[in-house]
Amino acid sequence: MPCTRETRPRPPASQTAPSHSTATSATRRRPWADLNAGLLDQRAGLEWIQRHIAQLGGDHANVMIYGESAGGASVVMQVAAYGGSKPVPFKRATAQSIGFGPTNTGKQTDAFFESATAFIGYPTSGSDAMPCLRNASVGAIVGAINHVQNGAFAPVIEGPTGFLPDLPSRLIADGKINDVEFVGGHCTGDGKTFAGGSSDDFQTDDNIRRLIFSRWPGVSNNTIDQALAIYPEPNATGSPFATQWERASTMAGEIIFTCMDWFHAEKMTSDGIENVFSYSWNAPDTVLYDANPYLGAAHTSDLYYLFDVLITFLSTFANAGNSFTPFNTSEATLAREAIAYWTSFAPSTDKESTSPTWESFAVPHSAARRRLELTRGGDVVINSTMENITEAKIQRCQFWMSENVTAETRV
């Protein structure tokens, strides 16, 4: 059937066309299209590696994947693919500053789809919708994507037989994941980066309610009240927070960025995986820090050091929306040894001899958990050290990763 453009008014960019169907995207468009195409593309690439890596001198049984931010979320979703019912095409995974959510509901996804197709002028539902979109120009598709709010087209829950059968947090909690060797960590300024404001904006509880939770509209007032209680005010007896900014940014980070890695590492440990490691990155990206010192070791600061190899060839190189600047001696030392840490996760390489030993996440014969804090030092030796994760931090992460709360944050 030829595609004919409909002449009904386009919905405003600030709104989405309402969905009049109670069916989800998974049931409505499965016959004509795959959901989570980006995740399926990643999986196809990893399966290609399994088939061909030997021809390139590699070992198909020693593949490692890693990603940062949304890429870290992709790593988690690849580990949890198909609810763990199918083996994964890799042995090790590194997830850095895991960032995603709230995951859209089926109705929300349908509404975004209908808004995009209505913008182009094609049918918004039925068997003609996807075939018509496949015949649309690239310009029309880009225009439709830009018409829908940023981040709207993201991973969706597909149901029991899909690539992502449930929320990743729920799949982890239920053990519906593949057991792989795991490294998880974050930048100490992740929460500051995503707090929704600067240090001067946080003076009261109401500031936290308004700014932090604007990113999480599904979180109830009751949950916010509980959160404020477990993050005591700076002047409260025993509070670990010196300022409202420290309190707010810690909360903003722990909702997902700095707790999901702990949650995943804890599950791998309880499943008996020996090679599980954790870290926190506490060395600022110089470019980001110079622009906004209050962010500290801002989101993606680790990438600034882990990808310095191209500096050999380029004086500046775009990375996470920023540019590299030449390292001073202590920065170069941290970059060299951080890269040695990351590559040492593969068994065929060794750590730098001056690096502190990166101990496992679980302390033997103890319930304690630990991580490597990476920070700059001198021109020869870095100041990185192992540290125990505090019980208060673990309790806060248990709160954010609990079933009742993740049902609202939808991570």
CATH number, domain of 232, equals 3.40.50.1820
Residue 8 domain-assigned (yes or no): no
Confidence of residue 134 (pLDDT cuts 50, 70, 90): confident
Residue 78 domain-assigned (yes or no): yes
**Integer Cα distance of 26 and 337 in angstroms:** 46
Q: Which of 391, 367, 405 is nearest to 256 (CA)?
A: 405
Residue 17 domain-assigned (yes or no): no
pTM of the complete model: 0.88
Confidence of residue 319 (pLDDT cuts 50, 70, 90): very low
Residue 222 domain boundaries: 179-411
Q: What is the pLDDT of residue 77?
A: 98
**Within this chain, do residues 121 and 206 fall inside the same structural domain, yes or no?**
no
pLDDT tops 70 at residue 2: no
**Within this chain, do residues 195 and 313 fall inside the same structural domain, yes or no?**
yes
Residue 3 domain-assigned (yes or no): no
Query: Bigger pLDDT: 244 or 323?
Result: 244
Q: Which backbone phi and psi does 319 adopt, to 5 degrees?
A: -155, 120
**Within this chain, do residues 196 and 141 fall inside the same structural domain, yes or no?**
no
pLDDT tops 60 at residue 399: yes
pLDDT tops 50 at residue 310: no
Q: What is the sign of the dihedral through the CA atoms of 389, 278, 409 and 234?
A: positive
pLDDT digits (tens, 9 = 90+) for 27-72: 444 566 788 999 999 999 999 999 999 999 999 999 999 999 999 9
**Within this chain, do residues 374 and 397 fall inside the same structural domain, yes or no?**
yes
Region 74-102 average pLDDT: 96
Residue 90 domain-assigned (yes or no): yes
**Within this chain, do residues 325 and 225 fall inside the same structural domain, yes or no?**
yes
**Integer Cα distance of 196 and 201 in angstroms:** 9
**Within this chain, do residues 247 and 381 fall inside the same structural domain, yes or no?**
yes
**Within this chain, do residues 133 and 187 fall inside the same structural domain, yes or no?**
no
What does DSSP say about strands 370-374 and 385-388: parallel, antiparallel, or unpaired?
antiparallel
**Within this chain, do residues 167 and 264 fall inside the same structural domain, yes or no?**
no
Query: Bigger pLDDT: 348 or 327?
Result: 327
pLDDT digits (tens, 9 = 90+) for 219-243: 999 999 999 999 999 999 999 999 9
Q: Show which of 178, 206, 226 is a domain's final residue.
A: 178
pLDDT tops 90 at residue 300: yes
In the block, tokens 């409505």 appear at 28
Residue 5 domain-assigned (yes or no): no
pLDDT tops 70 at residue 16: no
Q: Show which of 178, 201, 220 is a domain's final residue.
A: 178
pLDDT tops 90 at residue 86: yes
Confidence of residue 354 (pLDDT cuts 50, 70, 90): low
Q: What is the pLDDT of residue 31?
A: 61
Residue 7 domain-assigned (yes or no): no
**Integer Cα distance of 311 and 194 in angstroms:** 29
What average pLDDT does the chain have?
A: 87
Q: What is the pLDDT of residue 99?
A: 95
**Within this chain, do residues 240 and 109 fall inside the same structural domain, yes or no?**
no
Q: What is the pLDDT of residue 360?
A: 95
Q: What is the pLDDT of residue 38?
A: 94
Q: Which two tokens stand for residue 309?
A: 């190899």
Lowest mean pLDDT among 66-80, 170-184, 335-349: 335-349
Q: Show which of 147, 162, 178 is a domain's final residue.
A: 178
SS3 391: helix
Q: What is the pLDDT of residue 149?
A: 82
Biggest CA pair distance of the chain: 71
Phi-psi domain of 101 (left: phi exceeds 0; alpha: psi -120 through 50; beta: other): left
Q: Which two tokens stand for residue 33?
A: 């299209």
**Within this chain, do residues 148 and 83 fall inside the same structural domain, yes or no?**
yes
Residue 14 domain-assigned (yes or no): no
**Within this chain, do residues 336 and 386 fall inside the same structural domain, yes or no?**
yes
Q: How many domains does the chain have?
A: 2
Q: What proportion of the chain, given as a percentage, has pLDDT over 70?
A: 86
Q: What is the pLDDT of residue 347?
A: 61
**Within this chain, do residues 384 and 404 fall inside the same structural domain, yes or no?**
yes
Confidence of residue 147 (pLDDT cuts 50, 70, 90): confident
